[in-house]
Structure 1
Amino acid sequence: MHQNNVPLVSVVMPVYNGERYLTEAIESILTQQYSNFELLILDNGSTDSTPDLLARFARVDSRIRLLHEPKPFGYGGEVASNVAARQAKGAFIAKLDADDVAMPDRLIKQVNYLISNPDVFLVGSQLILIDETGQVTGKRDYPVTHEEIYSQFYLKFPIANPAVMFRNILKEDMYQIKFPHFNDYYSLFRLIHTGYRMHNLPEALTAYRIHTTNTVFTNLRAKWSSNVMIKQAFVREFGYSAPWIHRLKIAAITQVINLFPERMLLKIMNKARQLINA
């Protein structure tokens, strides 16, 4: 599918030392059913073979645009995503991390949804969970409707940031950098609170890879502290009223995190979140 009358999609992919999974991530975009896209890959100071891999891909597919920043920005790729998105030419911007995999129909389904729903700013999806070898280990479910998404924002991040597509209409950066971690969580709430409608498709359109070097799963106690600070900002800055049961669940998770040693937290946290659906 490559026609002049279909909108261009800019796929933004920040990468830092991503040689292990980068090929699979890139190929999952190049083989999309929807072909009218540009793939903006920002190499943020990689010191492994990432630059060579990117150069080889760019030589054989003109839809790839390579960007380079010599010093890592940090912040989980959010600053790098902002920098890349400023160069986007598409009507829509899609996110994909360099260790994840897009399903072949991801772009076409999200484009069709945004075209059919002009009042919606951002569309996400459910997630398939995969391990280091690409084997499916589970699924992560997200609320579908705008109202459900808003109501669950205090309890959890109800949008899978690596699976979003949104309209290229913002006059400022998508991700506002205010906290040590999870500025995507804060930024999307800020947008939805100010009237930007959001929706999650019921299908799992992205495979999210869980592995030992995934930044989400390191330094967990400090990251949970950022998570709680962001939730408090929802209340303080925006007057968000969280259901008491959601506040109780977050307090319970916080107690668990403060009780156990850091090395045990990942397994315990995942189990606790499953049990209380947070």
Structure 2
Amino acid sequence: MKKDGMVSVIMPAYNAEAFIAESIQSVLNQDYQNWELWVIDDASTDSTRNIVRKYTKENLNIRLIENPSNLGTHHSRNKGIKAAQGDYIAFLDADDLWKPEKLSKQVKFIQKHKLSACFSSYELIAENGNQLNKIVQALPKLTYQKLLKANYVGNLTGIYDSRQLGKIYSPEISKRQDWALWLKVVEKGGPMMGIEDPLALYRLRKNSISRNKVEMLKYNFKVFHQVLGYSYFSSFWRMLIFLKEQFLVKSKQVKNLSNEK
């Protein structure tokens, strides 16, 4: 495919030896060739760094940043964003996967619709990689007010144009910072549009925050109060709106994959 704007892929990693090779390979398999991958290792204690180093020796567009101590995902993502040299910035965690057409479809979609950012549907897989035959369907259009109610952007599918928006960083909270980042993107660049096709695969891990509802609520409150600056009362009210949206509305976006084909 002809070279277009370069995409900087940001991949924070911590003790990801079981999955990171497959995640990196899914970037290498992209039919869109103009990309760079920044892997930020957050002081892993397993063989994650050694695995990544092998890829950096064979691929000049894969680079490794090594944190001297464990700083957290938000610090790692921001280090990658700061180092990024691309026209677009996209995110992939070290245990998730992209389909080969992910970047090419999104760059084309952004250019066609004159957008500053977009996202897509994605499939769910088990921790061992088995298909769960479920898809999280992207909304066709996502406004700031809708995104404020609940996070509708799968971070592994989001991409924004840094030429239009500048570099947008994660806030200094250890969880749910991706939601806050996409709120900044939409606030600055206008509504995001969603691609119906599932372009990525999200691995459901036992220790992920999406599986821990108490932790999710705790950090959602931090987004409203600490990041967005709502008062305690307003943040509590926003939490009630979130609960309604998350469990009565957003839950309907998860569909059986066999029914979608």
TM-score relative to the length of structure 2 = 0.82
Letter of the structure 1 residue corresponding to residue 202 of structure 2: Y
Partner of 1:64: 62
Q: Distance in 2 between matches of 1:202 and 1:276?
A: 11
Q: Distance in 1 between matches of 2:110 and 2:245?
A: 38
> Residues 4-23 of structure 1: matches in 2 within 5 Å?
5-23=3-21
Deviation at 1:248, TM superposition (A): 5.7
Q: Distance in 2 between matches of 1:193 and 1:117?
A: 18
**1:167 aligned to 2:161?**
yes
Letter of the structure 1 residue corresponding to residue 102 of structure 2: R
What CA deviation, in whole Å up to 9, does each residue of 1:216-267 have, x standing for no partner?
A: 434x423312214434676938xx9xx99x94672698xxxxxxxxxxxxxx
Q: Secondary structure at the match of 2:27?
A: helix
CA contact (8 A) 1:16 1:44 kept: yes
| 25-34 or 152-161: bigger deviation | 152-161
Q: Distance in 2 between matches of 1:184 and 1:64?
A: 23
> Residues 253-264 of structure 1: matches in 2 within 5 Å?
none
Q: Which of these residues, 85, 91, 95, is aligned with residue 95 of structure 1?
A: 91
Q: Secondary structure at the match of 2:75?
A: helix
What CA deviation, in whole Å up to 9, does each residue of 1:30-86 have, x standing for no partner?
A: 011111111111111111010110111112222211111121222xx2221111111
Any stretches of 5+ residues in structure 2 without a counterpart?
Answer: 255-261
**1:196 aligned to 2:178?**
no
Q: Which of these residues, 206, 214, 230, is aligned with residue 223 of structure 2?
A: 230
Partner of 2:30: 32
Partner of 1:54: 52
What count of residue pairs does the alignment treat as equivalent? 247
Identity between Structure 1 and Structure 2 (%): 24
Partner of 1:183: 177
Partner of 2:74: 78
Partner of 2:147: 153
**1:42 aligned to 2:35?**
no
User: Compared with structure 1, are the counterparts of its residues 193 and 23 closer, same or farther at alpha carbon in structure 2 (3 Å cutoff)?
Assistant: same
CA RMSD of aligned residues (A): 3.1
Deviation at 1:160, TM superposition (A): 1.0
Partner of 1:266: none
CA contact (8 A) 1:249 1:276 kept: no
Q: Secondary structure at the match of 2:74?
A: helix
TM-score relative to the length of structure 1 = 0.78
Rg comparison, structure with higher value: 1
Letter of the structure 1 residue corresponding to residue 216 of structure 2: K
CA contact (8 A) 1:25 1:99 kept: yes
Q: Distance in 2 between matches of 1:235 and 1:251?
A: 21
Partner of 1:112: 108
What CA deviation, in whole Å up to 9, does each residue of 1:72-115 have, x standing for no partner?
A: 222xx222111111111111111111000001100100111122
Q: Which of these residues, 133, 136, 140, is aligned with residue 144 of structure 1?
A: 140
